[in-house]
Structure 1
């Protein structure tokens, strides 16, 4: 899922942050040589996985390269499931994920001798959007399940709630390789089959989902909060009522726990061997976590709370040995 607009959107922020980091000495990109000088770390790093985490990992790459262009980081966005497929066979160093690794994926990693460390890097608010002219402003969790559940036969918004408009429903959503899809299916809908309904326009490209919802009357879809923010001029976000009233997606409501059950953690999974054996991987990961709050801000993500950041730091320290 390529987000062709991302680089244009964040480069000014990246440049400003790079200057700030350089001024305060953040993200040391060099290692001392035997004569007391600095020898820049060089090498390549392969990252793939979640399209939701993709902008953040690209921001980390661009910021690091402002200080050390010798570390070459390739960031792909095959989806969380697709990322774990190549990570657990040793083809990548880092896997971006918008959900925790699943048992079958962990088993493949174990089978191939790929040991890893999970690092939470941000919080996201999975955002349900509708066509801006659709008079639907809030959905209960039950209505969300009636809309997207695997047993749903709803074709008109009045099938969901008789007070909703008499308007045909058009559904746009991520494909089954997406961690966003997995989260909606397993953690929001919670059906034993861990699937959503299948009669919708699926795409691994969030741009396609945005344009589909924005250009179709009665349309709805869902993706990460960051991508909604980037397209808020053409979409309307729907508040979610989990039993305590309608709550709109935002950084504040996701961090506070009010935006349930659609707030979710975002991760990078680091190959322990790559981190230990490849100085470029260590350089990138250390920089990523050291500057995590700033990188999240540049990528327009919801930064971790102090408590969660301390947990991420502790996990990284364990990886450092």
Structure 2
């Protein structure tokens, strides 16, 4: 019996133990391979896609300056939406053009490479380098100045929608000082409480009811989603709320690990931490009562609220900022001050 055959379990016939490599199918040339007019047509299509990318990038920059910052579509600033759309269409144009270029103009001959050890020898690496050079030659970029110019123009302008808001003094509202302040430090009349030392603090309120919270309402293990009491329903309501949202939890005071300088930031086991993840700003609102951990649902960063919300798992680089709290003369929880550090992810004007 041949080594390529083995007995069949269904009868006396034999079936192959393995199959010979059938090889590649016969190569079928594309229309652009055999018709010069078709090749030129594809070249113009690719150039058009690059041109669309250029126009989208320029339109995004123009819209960013031309649309007033107070114009909104729903809750989204119109200039920000235009910037994002321009950036997306610009990048999409480059990507689609590159794919169309490679599939319709570059060589599409099938090649087979046998598996080999992970580290190649010097000769193989030299061949690989030559293949890259051949690929550049195969793209025809040296012989196609139209595509070369379109590619360079699209690639050069595509980053503009990202760079323009980062350049100060060009008319954009990019004031990072706003990231260092929340309305917890404001004391509007009627929404504050007086502390025993005579100072005042903004009361903590349930989100979204805006009802102030008494310390006696918070039992051990309970969780409250908190906003500043009396948060104004003005045009910046959502911006201010997004920075100021807090998660309030009551623990057994014996499990808290507090530095001496933070001993008065909590009240009888009640602690308050920013809900904004220090990784990329997702809402941290999943509380594990048994482990006393707060979890971010986006990238699984985990914070230990018994130990000043330090990071115990995940990509977040620093603890959640703590809101110092106390109880006023009427028994309501109030913020002793604003957060002592900016909330949310790290940005370029802070060291960590």
TM-score, normalised to structure 2, is: 0.19
TM-score, normalised to structure 1, is: 0.21
Higher helix share: 1
Higher strand share: 1
Q: Which structure exhibits the higher relative contact order, with contacts defined as CA atoms closer than 8 Å and separated by 6 or more residues?
A: 1
Which is higher, the Rg of structure 1 or of structure 2? Answer: 2
